[in-house]
Structure 1
């Protein structure tokens, strides 16, 4: 189970690196674009941005903010499922720690098998599925990545001005990249993650991510850090509220 969570984490990091580096197709997206990813994932989001932009009288900055919030609301059920799983797993941490101490040599195949069997019995007794916390995050990933590329590959956006910056050029004030990095860091703080607390190398990765966001945001069109800021702010507020709502009483001690 730990191995699955580890793979899920590194898959998320690889996806983030691909997004930040722009290593995929950045040609303009249209209804004629071929391929399942382009036609059924990226183009619908591009179409939605253009549709909302008409409602906002051609204000693409405002359109992207509105669509970002719409998408975050759309994936809210997945977020709720993820939070519930995280809270349930945290509630079981003391009992899981006792099991780990009981079997002090997990490299011994016999002890490892007994520890795994006892851990799974604990999950079943409490109705907890450890995979239910990872799967919602993996399902969200293609949705958010498709929206990211829809923003990047919709040519109408690049020529637009919003607030003090042009959407198609880097933010000259660097305000957006720095904000995006700070909000990314804040997201790691408001999201409880026992695995990260127990693994120093994993914790280091989460500290590196905000630096990657800032570095990439400095050179990318300002529309992308704008999206990261809005998405991040909504995610922080959403996460804080959900953990308050679903927090179990015994965890408040």
Structure 2
């Protein structure tokens, strides 16, 4: 029987909570297509979105108004800045998974012991014995919750950059490679969808079989959402997503190489 607590519930459904967090932030931004400027209302618009908009225009100016290159450069800078946090998260996650595999037989035996005992006293005793197992192995059951912090840190930054791209009208007046940044482009949309699907498949390599099955649907939902939004948005957005997705694939491969468990350990 699976142990239930507020912590296991949050751990299991943290993706849903974080998606709600994104929606909450997005809902605070007012009209998504209104050009951003120094007079735009709202602290998030002023300090985050407008700052990124100025940065996009500033870097584009350095490269002869190449807004596509500017978006790529800023995307890479953001991802590089966040990379240490995400690598630390991956390392902690893998270490926790490795340590949990060691104590799993004891946890399973304890849960089996209390399988048919549902009274409050028995549940309390089970929780106390569970804590003793964690203490014996020097583990903090709340440590896994800190894995959400890097995700919370990156959301305001990525959302602000997303809105800056949508609300900087100068971007729509320029082209990059084969497409106009202000118009929908099927090919760059397809590339973004494929990249996000590959990113998910790469991330699955470090998942346990059970978790892989539970997350399978996310591997389809994420690319589908990217494709749907991109087909109703300027091509600058799928360009941003494609570059970010490629970076995340490389980062995941690096993390898996660095923190892979030693065979036979």
| TM-score of the two chains, using structure 1 as the length reference | 0.85
3-state SS, counterpart of residue 184 of structure 2: coil
Structure 2 residue aligned with 1:231: 244
Structure 1 residue aligned with 2:18: 12
Corresponding residue to 2:262 among 230, 249, 253: 249
Could you list the runs of 5+ residues in structure 2 that have no partner in the other structure? 1-6
3-state SS, counterpart of residue 156 of structure 1: helix
Give matches, 1:51-70, under 5 Å. 51-70=58-77
Quote the offset at 1:200 in angstroms: 4.5
Residues 125 and 10 from structure 1, CA distance in 2 versus in 1: closer, same or farther, beyond 3 angstroms? Answer: closer
- The answer to whether the 8 Å contact 1:20/1:216 transfers is no
- The answer to whether the 8 Å contact 2:197/2:220 transfers is yes
C-alpha distance in 2 between matches for 1:225 and 1:123: 46
Quote the offset at 1:205 in angstroms: 2.9
Say which is worse superposed, 62-71 or 208-217, in terms of deviation: 208-217
CA RMSD of aligned residues (A): 3.0
C-alpha distance in 2 between matches for 1:6 and 1:16: 18
Say if 2:170 is the partner of 1:170: no
- The answer to whether the 8 Å contact 2:107/2:130 transfers is no
3-state SS, counterpart of residue 231 of structure 1: helix
Quote the offset at 1:137 in angstroms: 1.2
Give matches, 1:1-253, under 5 Å. 1-14=7-20, 24-26=30-32, 27-102=34-109, 103-104=111-112, 105=114, 108=118, 109-110=123-124, 112-114=126-128, 116-118=130-132, 120-121=134-135, 124-125=138-139, 129-171=143-185, 174-192=186-204, 194=207, 197-198=210-211, 200-250=213-263
3-state SS, counterpart of residue 138 of structure 2: helix
Count of residue pairs the alignment pairs up: 250
Quote the offset at 1:180 in angstroms: 1.2
Residues 163 and 18 from structure 1, CA distance in 2 versus in 1: closer, same or farther, beyond 3 angstroms? Answer: farther
Which structure has the larger Rg over C-alpha atoms?
Answer: 2
Q: Residues 79-124 of structure 1: CA distance to partner in whole angstroms, max 9, x if unpaired? A: 1211111211221242343244111256842365146414643673
3-state SS, counterpart of residue 92 of structure 1: helix
C-alpha distance in 1 between matches for 2:169 and 2:219: 33
- The answer to whether the 8 Å contact 1:53/1:60 transfers is yes
Residues 124 and 64 from structure 1, CA distance in 2 versus in 1: closer, same or farther, beyond 3 angstroms? Answer: same
Quote the offset at 1:151 in angstroms: 0.7
Could you list the runs of 5+ residues in structure 1 that have no partner in the other structure? none
Quote the offset at 1:218 in angstroms: 1.5
Quote the offset at 1:158 in angstroms: 1.0
